[in-house]
Structure 1
Amino acid sequence: MADSSMSLAALSALLAERAAALSAAVGSPLTPPAYLDLVRRSQSVDDVAGQVLKLCVQQARDAGHTWQEIGDLLGVTRQAAFQRFGKPIDPRTGEPMDKTVRMTDAAERATAVVTHVLEGRMEEARRSFNAEVLAAFTDKARGDGLAAVTGLVGAFEGFGQDDPFVRRIGDHTVVDVPLRYEAGDMKARVAFDGDEKVAGIFILPPETP
């Protein structure tokens, strides 16, 4: 892992060095590469490339470029770009907000909750709800919400091919779970509070930031 304090020039040089080493390790057709070694080297290149991208975004922001410009360049919304690279300041403390995701099983738990809700196993789903969601997410609320989604995109067909997207937003861990429907894609969004209880659950269009 590269030192996070390295300059862009130093990181770029390190990236070039590791990419060259990966290229050399591929070898010739007469010398089959050690594939696990290639995986290790590729991961190393990916780690440094991620740091280079992060630092480039920071410098673009320092130069006055907007999140919209950066998001357009990366093919994501400005909010998605901000959530990935931004450094929000907590208005309560004036300190940088902690974006570290500590729920290592957030994707699996969110997928399980969504499965329980979609399949009508609400007793199991409610075990994960906090008090506010437990009071608000009645059987009627579930039925009305799923009916509205069915009216838009038809019957539920399964989960999407992409992995769930997990990030920290404020005090919450938020997970987007891709869903496939008869006439289009959607995503379930599950928010976990600081006690790792479900603080919100929604079904949204995939382009929703």
Structure 2
Amino acid sequence: MTEPPPLTALSSRLAEQAAALAQALGSPLASPAYLDLVRRARSVDELAEQVLRLCVQQSRDAGHTWQEIGDLLGVTRQAAFQRFGRPIDPRSGEPMDKTVRMADAAPRAIAIVEAVLDGRMDEARQSFNAQVLEAFTDKVRGDGLATVTGLVGAFEGFGEGEPFVRRIGDHTVVDIPLRYEAGDMKARVAFDTEEKVAGIVIVAPETP
């Protein structure tokens, strides 16, 4: 018997899981059953991500551009590529590894950003690599925060949404939403292969 194409098989499984979730939602629920809904919803989400990745790949194979795909997804072409692309490492000719291995990247990045914003630089610098330790002086910090204040006013706290963690080249990169009095920004922290901070900056939220 011929196996169905991967996209057909995954779409079928997604439809089945979504139907099962809808049926469970329509039934009377006892308290423990709510956790089952979370499990089912997570399964649907994971399958939907796989279907989306295959659809994007088929669109690319058909000749569509990252700009077209990004427009459909409401992101920039670079953001679409970073999420779905399969870049080839020019050093080896092999597909680049996009697996995030730093399980604690998000909480570590948040703690470092908090320390920088609060002025606890001795604490923050413990996580910096040698290059950032040399370059990120108190003057650089002050000038950078003054520039951001001039753009969007005083810092009010962390924004809504979870930090976005991904692998870019040899770095693990974390984007953290920030809320200011006149607009939103995001902090970006990059960790090197030694899990030290290789870069930290505050940028506009639409920055890819």
TM-score by length of structure 1 reads 0.94
SS of aligned partner of 1:207? coil
Amino acid aligned to 2:174: V
Match of 2:29 among 29, 32, 42: 32
Give the partner amino acid of 1:199: A
1:62 counterpart = 2:61: yes
Name the TM-score, length of structure 2 as normaliser.
0.94
- Residues 41-120 of structure 1: matches in 2 within 5 Å? 41-120=40-119
Specify every segment of 5 or more residues in structure 2 that has no aligned partner in the other structure, as ranges: none
Measure, in 2, the Cα distance between the counterparts of 1:11 and 1:36: 24
The equivalent of 1:194 in structure 2 is 193
**1:146: which partner in 2?**
145
Which residue type is aligned with residue 74 of structure 1?
L
> Which range moves more in the overlay, 132-141 or 33-42?
33-42
Q: Which amino acid aligns with 1:119?
A: D
CA offsets 1:160-179 (integer angstroms, 9 cap, x no match): 01111100000000001111
Structure 1 distance, partners of 2:139, 2:24, is: 60
The alpha carbon displacement at 1:6 in A equals 6.2
Range with greater deviation from structure 2 (35-44 or 140-149): 35-44
TM-superposed CA distance for 1:39, in Å, is 1.5
Cα displacement (A) at 1:24: 2.1
How many equivalent pairs are there?
A: 203
Q: Which letter does structure 2 place at the counterpart of 1:155?
A: A
Q: Deviations over 1:98-154 (max 9, x none)?
A: 000000110101111111111100000000000000000011111111111111111
Instruction: Return 164-173 or 42-51, whichever deviates more.
Output: 42-51
Q: Describe the SS at the equivalent of 1:124.
A: helix
Map of 1:125 onto structure 2: 124
Partner of 1:159: 158
Equivalent residue, structure 1, for 2:170: 171
Following the alignment from structure 1 to structure 2, what is the Cα–Cα distance between the partners of residues 56 and 196?
A: 34
Structure 2 counterpart of 1:12, one-letter code: S
Q: 1:109 to 1:6 in 2, by over 3 A?
A: farther
Q: How many Å apart are 1:32 and its aligned residue? A: 2.7
Q: Residue 195 of structure 1 aligns to a residue in which SS?
A: coil
For residue 155 of structure 1, report the CA deviation from its aligned partner: 0.8
Cα deviation, residue 25, structure 1? 2.1
How high is the sequence identity, in percent, across the aligned residues? 78
* Structure 1 unaligned residues grouped into runs of 5+: none
State the alpha-carbon separation in 1 of the partners of residues 171 and 132 from structure 2: 14
Cα-Cα RMSD: 1.3
Measured after TM superposition, the shift of residue 68 of structure 1 is 0.6
**C-alpha separation between the residues in 2 aligned to 1:32 and 1:194?**
47
